[in-house]
A and B are shown apart, each in its own frame.
Chain A
Amino acid sequence: MTGTQWVPLALARDIAPGTSAGTMVEDAEIVVWRDTDGRAHAWEDRCPHRGMKLSFGFVRGDHIACLYHGWEFDEGGICRKIPAHPDLEVPGSICAARYGCTETGGMIWAALPLGTDPIEVPALPDAVPVRSITLEAGLITVADMLLNEENAVIEGALATLDCAHGPLAIGVQPIRPGTVALHITTRPGASAETLLAICDWAETLRRAAEKEIAA
């Protein structure tokens, strides 16, 4: 990867306020979480204390807390509370590493690699979430299959195409070699029937991609 790239981590709908989830981009472990005010955050999934995954922990207001020893970090990634030392004024130097994070097109995006300063923030049209789906197949296999669809274009980590059930905008997340997650959205106003048909399209694509790998 050269320069800064925006990578989708989840459908915005799937990270409810006050919850967190672990994910990966090219083997880098990331926790994506939403504070109780509704703001999304993407951090390195590692407590600076003992290296525990922060995604195993829990969200309290605008803090995320580690499950291991309860260290709490504020929105800026700075440790604010160490329960074992309740009277300690925590020095501001204990920090979790943060990714640039934004929400657009019905998805939560992180700027990779860690520590890069994103210049342009993508702005995508409003979209309705369909589902996220993980494929045990390589990025090139999956991209080729998406490009076989009508009017398919892949720009950065976003694929747009027309399937038989309507236009799709799909965030493509390379999890690790041989595993890709797709975050599938469609245009607003799609019926439940259409959304189920798009799910079927995605699950058929997954079968085909994984068959290709097995062959």
Chain B
Amino acid sequence: MSAPLLHNYDLDEDCYRARLVAACTGVALDLRNVDMFPGAEHRSDAYMRLNPLGTLPILQDETLVLTQPEAILRRLAALDPERRLLPEDEVIAARIDDWLAFWAQHLAVAKAAREIALMATPGDLAALSARTARMLRVMEDHMTHQTIRGLGFFAGPELTLADLALFPAFALSRDHGLDHDAFPALRLWARRVRLTPGFITMPGIPDYH
């Protein structure tokens, strides 16, 4: 069985999420780097045939072609025989589902803000960045309460897929001008996430340890 193939662009935060989940679970991944910016290769005929949405990342695994970031992360985490990011406890699993939905539905503004700031895509940067600040505040309040309960991560005492899905939006927020000053609980949480065996960075997330 060959390793799953990730169609990847290094500066895209969802591509980073997929690489990060694979790295932290020891799942082997083949990478094909796509010239997303400035080449727009992800909108070429070959790529539009593979993914009519014209987005990255795309994960190809045997007969599967996955285009939704959440489905890609879940698939990679499920390939780990230890399932270290997807514990079996039903309550923790429900919390993971809730935070993955929060990421997909409410934190997508962070990615949109960053793309406007870095890749000059059109949009209202100030409004999206302000909305991102509101969402990071929701996360800050939750992590503050978790810390008081003695729980170091979003869904419980251990790192799960929820933490790796949420981490990039916080770690990259300075790319669209949003500092970390108002989020001390998230700063300490991000530091714990960085200590995960296998953890990798991407441009914009300094590697200083």
Q: Which residues of A contact B (CB under 8 A)?
A: 10-11, 14, 16, 19, 21-24, 56-58, 67, 131-132, 134, 175, 181, 192, 195-196, 199, 203
A204 to chain B, nearest CB (A): 12
Q: Which residues of B contact A (CB under 8 A)?
A: 137, 141, 144-145, 148-150, 174, 179-182, 184-185, 187-188, 191, 206, 208-209
- The residue from A11, A21, A192 contacting B150, defined by CB atoms under 8 A apart: A192
Bound-state Cα–Cα, A181 to B141, Å = 14
- Of chain B, the residue at the smallest CB distance from A60 is B208
Given the complex, which residues of A lie within 8 Å of B208, measured CB to CB? 57-58, 67
Bound-state Cα–Cα, A24 to B182, Å = 10
Given the complex, which residues of B lie within 8 Å of A21, measured CB to CB? 180-181, 184, 187
Shortest 9 CB-CB contacts between residues of A and residues of B: A134-B182, A14-B184, A58-B208, A195-B148, A131-B144, A23-B181, A132-B184, A192-B148, A22-B181
Q: A56-B206, A58-B206, A199-B144 are known contacts. Are A131 and B185 too (CB-CB below 8 A)?
A: yes
- Of chain B, the residue at the smallest CB distance from A203 is B141
Asked if A14 and B188 sit within 8 Å, CB to CB, the answer is: yes
Bound-state Cα–Cα, A57 to B144, Å = 24
Asked if B148 and A14 sit within 8 Å, CB to CB, the answer is: no
Asked if B184 and A56 sit within 8 Å, CB to CB, the answer is: no
Bound-state Cα–Cα, A131 to B137, Å = 13
Given the complex, which residues of A lie within 8 Å of B191, measured CB to CB? 16, 19
B37 to chain A, nearest CB (A): 24
Asked if A67 and B184 sit within 8 Å, CB to CB, the answer is: no
- Of chain B, the residue at the smallest CB distance from A23 is B181
- Of chain A, the residue at the smallest CB distance from B184 is A14
Bound-state Cα–Cα, A122 to B101, Å = 47
Bound-state Cα–Cα, A185 to B202, Å = 37
Bound-state Cα–Cα, A196 to B144, Å = 9
Q: A58-B208, A67-B208 are known contacts. Are A22 and B179 too (CB-CB below 8 A)?
A: yes
A136 to chain B, nearest CB (A): 9
Asked if A24 and B181 sit within 8 Å, CB to CB, the answer is: yes
Bound-state Cα–Cα, A131 to B184, Å = 9
Given the complex, which residues of B lie within 8 Å of A14, measured CB to CB? 184-185, 187-188
- The residue from B145, B174, B179, B181 contacting A199, defined by CB atoms under 8 A apart: B145
Q: A14-B188, A16-B188 are known contacts. Are A196 and B181 too (CB-CB below 8 A)?
A: no
A/B interface sample: 7 pairs, CB < 8 A:
A11-B184, A14-B184, A14-B187, A16-B191, A24-B181, A134-B137, A196-B148
A160 to chain B, nearest CB (A): 22
Asked if B206 and A67 sit within 8 Å, CB to CB, the answer is: yes
Given the complex, which residues of A lie within 8 Å of B148, measured CB to CB? 192, 195-196, 199
Bound-state Cα–Cα, A58 to B201, Å = 15
Bound-state Cα–Cα, A99 to B148, Å = 31
Given the complex, which residues of B lie within 8 Å of A192, measured CB to CB? 148-150
**New contact pairs (18) apart from A67-B208, A175-B181, CB-CB < 8 Å:** A14-B185, A14-B187, A14-B188, A16-B188, A16-B191, A19-B191, A21-B181, A21-B187, A22-B179, A22-B181, A24-B181, A58-B209, A134-B137, A134-B181, A134-B182, A192-B150, A195-B148, A199-B141
B38 to chain A, nearest CB (A): 26
- The residue from A22, A181, A199 contacting B180, defined by CB atoms under 8 A apart: A22
Bound-state Cα–Cα, A215 to B184, Å = 29
